[in-house]
Amino acid sequence: MAQLNFGGTLEEVVTRDEYPLNKAQQYMADKTIAVLGYGVQGPGQALNLRDNGFNVIVGQRKGSDSWDKALSDGWVEGENLFELAEATQKADIVMYLLSDAGQIAAWPTVKENLQPGNTLYFSHGFGVTFNEQTGIVPPANVDVVLVAPKGSGRSLRTLFQQGKGLNSSYAIFQDITGHAKETATALGIGVGSGYLFETDFKKEVYSDLTGERGILMGAIAGLFEAQYNVLRKNGHSPSEAFNETVEELTQSLMPLVADNGMDWMYANTSTTAQRGALDWRHKFREANTPLFEELYSSVASGEEARVVIEANQKPDYREKLNQELEALRNSELWQTGRQVRKLRPENG
pLDDT tens, residue by residue, 75-94: 999 999 999 999 999 999 99
> ∠ at Cα 234 (233, 236), nearest 5°?
95
Question: Rounded to whole angstroms, how far apart are CA atoms 321 and 21?
Answer: 40
Contact criterion met (CB below 8 Å) for 97 and 73: no
Give the pLDDT score at 8.
Answer: 79
**pLDDT tens digits for range 104-138:** 999 999 999 999 999 999 999 999 999 999 999 99
Where the chain has pLDDT below 50, the residues are none
Question: Rounded to whole angstroms, how far apart are CA atoms 142 and 3?
Answer: 30
Around Cβ 257, how many Cβ atoms within 10 Å? 14
Question: Rounded to whole angstroms, how far apart are CA atoms 86 and 98?
Answer: 16
pTM: 0.91
**pLDDT tens digits for range 325-340:** 999 999 999 999 999 9
Which residues are catalytically annotated? 124
Give the pLDDT score at 347.
Answer: 67
Give the pLDDT score at 5.
Answer: 75
**Domain annotation for the chain: domains and CATH numbers:** 2-199 (3.40.50.720), 211-347 (1.10.1040.10)
Residue 70 neighbours by CB under 8 Å, 6+ apart: 38, 43, 58, 60, 81
